[in-house]
Structures are given as C-alpha cells and as structure tokens.
Structure 1
Amino acid sequence: MDTSAWIYPWDVADHGTSALSRVVRDAGLSAVNVAASYHSLFATVPDNPRRHLVELPRGMVYYRPDPAHWRDSAVEPRVSAWVDELGDALTLGRELAERAGCGLTAWTVCLHNSLGRRHPELALRTVWGDVVTAALCVRNPAVRAYAAALVADVGARADRVQLESAHWTPLPHHPHVKLALPHPVNLGMIAQICFCDHCRAAGEAAGVDVGALAGALRRRWQRCYETPVLEPLSTEEGYEAYQAVRVEAVTSLVAELVGRSPVPVEFVTFGDRAATGAHLAGIERAGAAVRALAYGPAERVKEVRAAEEAAPDRPRSLHLGLSLLPEHVADHEAFLGAVGAAGAAPSLSFYHLGLVGAERRTWPGHVRRG
C-alpha cells in the first residue's frame, strides 16, 4: 500500500530536511504532500524548534511562480513573504523527498483563498448579490485560467498534484462564524449557491429560469425563519437543473486541470457534495484519482467508506486520508483501528506531520511494519 503524509513548508524549513527525511524514511512513505498553495490558518505546531503558533491571515502561494506558466492568466498569485524568509515550498519539498527517497506531491488549494478580496469580480456571488471573498466562482473563466496556471506551475516541479478546493467552497468557511440558522441545511445551501453573471448564463443555457429560481430561494430563506419544517430545496422549480450546472462546472474544471498538469492529479473530497458540486465518478473519468478524508477513529472511517460505497457517484477506486491528530484519534490503538477500517484502500495519506508531536509522527511507520 502506498502511504504519504501532509506537511507545511514551514515545518520542513524549521525542522530541517535532514531530520524530517529520517522520519519520512523510517515511515516508509511513498510521498510527502507539501503545501504549495494554502488558505488562511491558525495552528499550533508541537515541538517546532522555531515557533509555537502559526497564523496566516490570507490564502497565498508558498513557492516562487514561473511567469511562463501564467501568461494566459489575468490574475497573478499572491506570494507569501515566508518564501523569502524560509524558502520556496517546492524547493524544500524536493530536497526533503530526495533525502528520504520518496516522491513529492504539490498540495494545492485552488479556489478557497483570499484573491476575492483583491478581485471581487472572481468571487462567488450569492442569490442576493453578496460577494463571498474567500470562495472563487468555479464557472468564472478568469478563475479557471488562474487554477490552470497554478496546476501547470506546481506540476512542473512535483511528481503529483493534489487538488484541494477544486470545487464550490462550502459555507460557512470563515473564522469567527456566527450563524443563527434554524434550518442549517436549507439556509446554508441557499447562501453558498453562486448567482454571478457567468453562473446565471450557464443556468439559462441549460433551460433554467434563473431569475425565478433566485426569487424562490430568497423567499425560501425568509420562510426558514418562520416555519418549523420545510420541504427539500429540490422542490423548487429549476433547482435540480441548476445544481447539475454546478456539478458540470466542477467536473469540467478538473478535466482542464488534469489536461494542464504534466504529472498525475489527485482530487481531495470532503463535505456535502451537494454543496461542493463534486461528482466523484465524473472526476475520476476526467483523469483524477479521488481521495476522501476520513478523519477519526475506526467508526468514522467505516462511516465514510460506507457512505461513499453507497453513493450513486462512487468512484471505482477510493483513496483515503486518515488523521494523526489527537482530536481525531485518541491514542495509538485508535489510530491503528482507523487504519484497519480503511480496508483495501489503494493508498493512505496521513494528516499531519507538522501538527503532531514526535511520537505521533512515527505512527505511519507502524502501518508499514504491520
């Protein structure tokens, strides 16, 4: 079984490639997944020799982009100042991988970032016209060109590209969220469906009366605060067809990204797929391997596997992501239980070498040794 682990570039820089390569080599990892593009973050970093906390207020890239890959993108990536301070994430990642004798995966957060602050025309626009700056619109051509340039750029320097948030961004997904939602499924879904000009045009082309649907959803939002029980959103005329348009946007985006990447591509799925628009079978047919996050003890892993196996869009092959964090697996026995519950998954990826202490970083090696 192939195994890999996620890690941040500052973990590699702070611990050093020599020390970390021993951890990776002892664990028998097939690859390290180094964050090349990442969203905002506040995290504790146990036993890091240089810092105790990491705070990233903006989503940025952590490597030096090659301008040759960005000629067709009107939007330039925001490069973190940490690149000058700590080094280029992909350079650090390659050094670590070579020392450890494993592959390098460019862990790439695509559409959940801070670019909407500088370019509100790229952001998801709600049914009321509000701009959600942390969520880029999958349908927007400029967003798709940005994502394609990003994948081509990081793929030129890695052995694999791992796509995170290459789909509609589920809401709420922001610090200090305060939502008084009596019907969280209905209200949450209404708030995160994009009605920008690009999405409206795609909906109309598919035969949806988008104006009527938008009005119905706005009225539904208000009724959610007044009515104890409501029928599903699918009862609104045009809703299912508009959802199909959202799904097509994600599937076609992934196909474009696979086409631009010079190396294999993996798609990470988590959360409600009605919200993300991810159709896993379609994404797999587009050429991307599919990895589902199953963070938790054995029971949680079994739940995720069962849900995916029963899903109408289930992929033929499902890779899994498991967690090393104490909030997900209380102890070593619980971790091994989660691994056992993964069954015949073709590969496992472990979250996260930089967010746990030295002992837990050894646990993936116990998997390899049985």
Structure 2
Amino acid sequence: MTANGGDFFRSVYAYPWDVADEGTAAFADRLRALGADTVTLAAAYHAGKFLRPHGRAGKVYFPHDGTLAFRHDPAAYGRLKPAANRLLDTFDAFAALAAEAPDFRRVAWIVACHNTRLGTACPDVTARNCFDDRYPYSLCPAQPDVQDFVVALCRDAARACVPAAIAVETPGWLPYEHGFHHEFAMMPLDDWTRLLLGLCFCDACIEGAQEAGIDAQRLQRRLAATLEDRLAAALPISAARAQDQIAADLLQASELAAFLRWRCTVVTGLVERVRSALPEEIELWVIPSVQRPSARSWLEGSDLAELARAADRLEICFYETSAEEVALDLADVRRRAGSSAVINAVLRPGWPDLAGGAETEAAVRALREEVASLAFYNYGHLPEPALARIGAGFRALEVP
C-alpha cells in the first residue's frame, strides 16, 4: 500500500506487438525478473516508426494508425468509430496476459485525442489553428463528438480489458510539433511561435470560449496577425526571449490568458465524464502532458490540480536529463497539484534521459517518498542495458 492508501504498482509500459513478438510467457517471465508486477499495455494507439533493439521478428515496426488493441463493441460508439488493430486477427495481448500471466495487473493505456485516422475521416472535429488550418492528428476535446468518443473508448476498454486502471494520454490538445509524418519547417520555431500555432479555433472552441465571456474571434484575428508578422520576418528568437514574450502576452493580453484557462476547464470536464463512466473499482489515471518540464502542461489544456481532483491519479512522465531535474520537476508538480494529489511516476532508463540511464537509480530515490507507483517506458524501445536498469530502478525503491 502507498502512503495515499492505494496499491503501489511497479509497471512497465509495453506494446501488444512486442508481447506477441516475445511470447506472452517469456515476456512475463522477463518482467518478473526485473521486479515488475504490472503491465501498462497500449489499448488505443497512433501511428509511428519504432526502432525495436531486441525485436525478434524485425527491428523497425510501423503501428497500424489510430486503432484499438482490444476487441471493441462497435455499438458502444457514436459518430466516431474506432478500428481494430490488425494484430487482433492473430493475437489478443490483453487476453493472453490474463490467461498466461494472471499474477500481473494490467493497465489499459489509452491515447485519446491523438488519432490521425479519425481526424482524416472527420476533419470537422480536429483542431483548427488561427489561420483555419486543420491538424488531422489532433482531435479537439471541445468537440462533442470527440468527448463522446473518448468516454465510450474508456468505458469499452474497461469492459473488454478488465484492467486495474485506465491510463489516458492526450486528453487535451496536442502541441504544434508532435511527430506528424515528416514535419518540416525552413525557419526556426521558438516556444512562442509554437504556442500560438498550437491553439485551436474550431467552431466548438470559439463557441465554448464565447459562452465563457471570451471574444475568441477577436483573439483569433489578433493572433493570426501576430503570427503573420512573425512568419514574414523569420527572425530567430532565443529560448529566453520567447519565454519573456509568452509571459508578457499572458500578462497584457487578458483574452489569451482567459482562453488558456478555459481550455483547461474543457479537459478537466472530459476527464470527469470518463471517471463517471468507469466502474468504481477501475482507477482512472491521467497522463496530463509529455511537455518538459511538467509546468508546461497547460499548453495541452492540463491543469494539474484540477485533473488530480477529477481522476484517481496523475501519471507524470518525468522525462528529464538528470536525477536532479527529476527532483525539481517532482517538487513543482506537487506544488501545483496539491498535497492530496496521488502522483505516479514514469521514467525512461536510457537515452535521452537520466544521463543516458546512468542516473536511473538516483532518480528513483528522488521520487520514492512522494509517488504512489513507478513505471518505466517502454519495453520494446529499450536496448538491453536500459532494460537491465529497470530492475535496478525497482530495487532502488527499497535500498537506501
């Protein structure tokens, strides 16, 4: 049990195709040897190009875009219809783990609003920037159809996967740069430019913001003019200057600050709906952002304190370059989320984090008094030396 009164999970993130490649029994044996008792398994995921250093059937894998890795109920969904991953034709990782490794708890990992397949099929529910360009990879959480889809997806995963918890990633808006196919720009992009390019002004956002007393159309026009000048000048802006410009805009442009706060209420409301739709015995964990540091979660519409109240736990990705940076981020997350927030930690025990993985144990020691669970990301991506550090990391939970 944790200090917060819940179970402590020692988890490893994994993909169904890696379980299939390794074989369920061998996969479970390896995780047991590392000290894990939980698998956080991708149940709804997006496209990618993944290097698998210890893959057996191949070293580079292309996931089937925007699909589900569990046997879903088509009748459970409204306008936005999910598709099954092709792997289910031959292998059901959730069922295999339940049958062959029943001692492991399963967490269903749901990527919610990052779905290029659905965004391409239904562009009207995607994010639309201040120039009215659509982002097909980013479903807008202010859209009613998207909210209904995310709620149905999590409820369906709870039914089909019978997990101990649902871990929801991307409950909000994706940032401008998020690994879309062959992203390209022949000018430097600073944080200020990325922020403005990442804001959504679709019909649902404009209507919702205006109901909250924000003149979103005027804000859209103003930001479009600002960005037009910025893109025309193409002048490099330092990281420090970009942060100063963001701070000045938030102080002086009251509509922008109010708009960003309103976005947080949208994401919190969606998470509250998901929590209400799940059985009480299945916990809801929220991955608020993969922005570094976690203080930037607001870029995606995540308010740590409000999400901690809406969900059962925050699943924080402490993807930092050193153990010291992990400790600093943890202190800030605790300050923002509040003393009662239940915080889980996710670490990457190798490049590009934690001095190439050398500070994994030190990072665990920095976290262990404050966190309710520890997970490592991601089984298939990690080379053998990094996999070994998972075991050392779990042992560091107990060793002074």
TM-score (norm 1): 0.91
Give the corresponding residue for 2:5.
Answer: none
2:300 is aligned with what amino acid? T
Q: Once structures 1 and 2 are overlaid, which stretch shifts more, 114-123 or 330-339?
A: 330-339
Shift in alpha-carbon separation, 1:166–1:336, aligned structure 2, 3 A: same
1:1-370 residue pairs with structure 2 within 5 A? 1-56=8-63, 58-70=65-77, 73-84=78-89, 86-95=90-99, 97-98=101-102, 101-114=103-116, 115-156=118-159, 157=161, 158-173=163-178, 174-180=180-186, 184-225=190-231, 226=233, 230=245, 232-234=248-250, 235-262=252-279, 263-269=282-288, 270-271=290-291, 272-296=296-320, 297-311=322-336, 316-329=341-354, 333-344=358-369, 345-369=371-395, 370=399
Deviation at 1:16? Answer: 0.6
Shift in alpha-carbon separation, 1:183–1:326, aligned structure 2, 3 A: closer
- Give the count of matched residue pairs: 365
**Alpha-carbon distance in 2 for matches of 1:48, 1:154:** 27
**Alpha-carbon distance in 2 for matches of 1:131, 1:18:** 44
**Alpha-carbon distance in 2 for matches of 1:237, 1:244:** 11
**Alpha-carbon distance in 1 for matches of 2:329, 2:347:** 11
Shift in alpha-carbon separation, 1:315–1:211, aligned structure 2, 3 A: farther
Q: Once structures 1 and 2 are overlaid, which stretch shifts more, 116-125 or 24-33?
A: 24-33
SS in 2 for 1:265: strand
Shift in alpha-carbon separation, 1:188–1:96, aligned structure 2, 3 A: farther
**Alpha-carbon distance in 1 for matches of 2:217, 2:393:** 54
Deviation at 1:6? Answer: 0.1
Deviation at 1:310? Answer: 4.2
Please, what is the CA RMSD of the aligned residues?
Answer: 2.2
**Alpha-carbon distance in 2 for matches of 1:60, 1:289:** 25
Contact 2:304 2:336 in 1 (8 A): no
**Alpha-carbon distance in 1 for matches of 2:63, 2:155:** 25
1:131 is aligned with what amino acid? R
Deviation at 1:339? Answer: 1.5
Q: Once structures 1 and 2 are overlaid, which stretch shifts more, 247-256 or 185-194?
A: 185-194
SS in 2 for 1:162: strand
Deviation at 1:180? Answer: 4.8
Q: Once structures 1 and 2 are overlaid, which stretch shifts more, 141-150 or 284-293?
A: 284-293
Contact 1:282 1:313 in 2 (8 A): no
1:325 is aligned with what amino acid? G
**Structure 2: gaps spanning 5 or more residues:** 1-7
SS in 2 for 1:23: helix
TM-score (norm 2): 0.85
Shift in alpha-carbon separation, 1:258–1:83, aligned structure 2, 3 A: same
Q: Deviations over 1:139-185 (max 9, x none)?
A: 10100111011101111222210001111111211232223555622
**Alpha-carbon distance in 2 for matches of 1:135, 1:192:** 10
- Identity among equivalent positions (%) equals 25
**Alpha-carbon distance in 2 for matches of 1:201, 1:313:** 31
Shift in alpha-carbon separation, 1:354–1:143, aligned structure 2, 3 A: same
Deviation at 1:325? Answer: 3.1
**Structure 1: gaps spanning 5 or more residues:** none
Deviation at 1:319? Answer: 1.6
SS in 1 for 2:130: coil
Q: Deviations over 1:25-78 (max 9, x none)?
A: 2233231001011111111112222111112362222222123432xx211102
SS in 1 for 2:83: coil
SS in 1 for 2:98: helix
Contact 1:281 1:315 in 2 (8 A): no
Q: Deviations over 1:94-150 (max 9, x none)?
A: 34541xx12000011011111111110110111121110000001101001110111
SS in 2 for 1:201: helix
**Alpha-carbon distance in 2 for matches of 1:169, 1:93:** 31
Deviation at 1:363? Answer: 3.2
Contact 1:181 1:187 in 2 (8 A): no
**Alpha-carbon distance in 2 for matches of 1:313, 1:168:** 23
Shift in alpha-carbon separation, 1:17–1:358, aligned structure 2, 3 A: farther
**Alpha-carbon distance in 2 for matches of 1:111, 1:314:** 29
**Alpha-carbon distance in 2 for matches of 1:357, 1:224:** 42
Give the corresponding residue for 2:3.
Answer: none
**Alpha-carbon distance in 1 for matches of 2:189, 2:75:** 48
**Alpha-carbon distance in 2 for matches of 1:329, 1:210:** 41
Contact 1:280 1:314 in 2 (8 A): no
1:198 is aligned with what amino acid? A
**Alpha-carbon distance in 2 for matches of 1:97, 1:46:** 24
